[in-house]
Amino acid sequence: MPASARGLHESAGEILAPLSEEPAGVTPEYAIALDDVTKIYGQKRAVDGLTLRVPRGCFYGFLGANGAGKTTTIKMLMGLAQPTSGKLSLLGTPVEQGSFAVRQRIGVVLDDTLLFDRLTGREYLQFVGRIYGLDRAVVDRRVRELLDLFELTAAQHKVISEYSKGMKKRVAMGAALIHRPSLFLMDEPFEGVDAVGARLMKEILLDRVRQGCTVFLTSHVLEVVERLCDRLAIIHEGRLVVEGTMDDLRAGGSAHDTLEEVFVRTIGGDTSTELLDWL
């Protein structure tokens, strides 16, 4: 892609400019707060008494094995799933009372991108911009910038059903950026994206954090999480096991442990290197 860390703002103009205004009132200390949150599906506790604080202006990694409760937590934060008990708030506002004003400050990229496959890439970005209440001229300008930034201009008139998974993730990222949110909820945003596209997405998110935004990220690519995140939490079977900086997570092990080593030790994974006899 043509954009680099130095050229992001030239490519995306006002979308990536510093956030200059916050809503009137007291600015909350935490971008995300969960208090004893539980979500039960049938007999399964997908999330079990989760309490968490995500500071504003933080790149936060939320980790766990498959089925640990990460996606369920993000869906509750989005209001797509209701907690069985407990309280969640975003930017100081309880999720269940979340107004449109709060939703305007949140950008989302899900593992299952949930795009409208019968719209073209351009139409989808225009639709999202208008849903967020942006002026038509502003939407048109930002859509052009986003299509160029993510190298989708040549494919802008193709319906999204014809896009590769990586292209769909780029469109989803564009839709998450178009209204210039201050909080991003990211569920496996780099999965299915080529190395160059993933690097651009990482640069954009790091830039947003430098400008005061908050990123709440889940990913199975632990090397990427270790490089990006200021703080991390590891959950197992719906429960918070450990939380803090990388140095905090290394406590009890070696000061040189990688996040992968910390993760496996924390959730009790089998580190055996035994192989099958026939291999």
Amino acid at 124: Y
Query: Of 174, 109, 121, nearest to 146 (Cα)?
Result: 174
Classify strands 44-55 and 59-63 as parallel, antiparallel or unpaired. unpaired
CATH number of the domain bearing residue 171: 3.40.50.300
Q: Is residue 20 part of a domain?
A: no
Mean per-residue pLDDT, 214-227: 95
Q: Is residue 278 part of a domain?
A: no
Q: Which tens digits make up the pLDDT trace of 95-112?
A: 877 667 788 899 999 877
The band of 20, judged by pLDDT with boundaries at 50, 70 and 90, is low
In the predicted structure, residue 33 carries a pLDDT above the cut 80: yes
Q: What is the pLDDT of residue 243?
A: 97
The structural domain count of the chain equals: 1
Q: Is residue 244 part of a domain?
A: yes
Q: Which tens digits make up the pLDDT trace of 39-97?
A: 999 999 999 999 999 999 999 999 999 999 999 999 999 888 999 999 999 999 998 77
Q: Is residue 59 part of a domain?
A: yes
Q: Is residue 3 part of a domain?
A: no
Q: Is residue 270 part of a domain?
A: no
Q: Is residue 202 part of a domain?
A: yes
Query: Of 204, 65, 60, 92, nearest to 145 (Cα)?
Result: 204
By residue range, what is the domain housing residue 164? 8-15+27-264
Give percent above pLDDT 90 in the chain. Answer: 76
Q: Is residue 273 part of a domain?
A: no
In three-state form (DSSP H/G/I as H, E/B as E, the rest C), the secondary structure along the chain is CCCCCCCHHHHHHHHHCCCCCCCCCCCCCEEEEEEEEEEEECCEEEEEEEEEEEECCCEEEEECCCCCCHHHHHHHHHCCCCCCEEEEEECCEEHHHCCHHHHCCEEEECCCCCCCCCCEHHHHHHHHHHHCCCCHHHHHHHHHHHHHHCCCHHHCCCEHHHCCHHHHHHHHHHHHHCCCCCEEEEECCCCCCCHHHHHHHHHHHHHHHHCCCEEEEECCCHHHHHHHCCEEEEEECCEEEEEECHHHHHCCCCCCCCHHHHHHHHHCCCCCCCCCCCC
Model confidence, pTM: 0.90
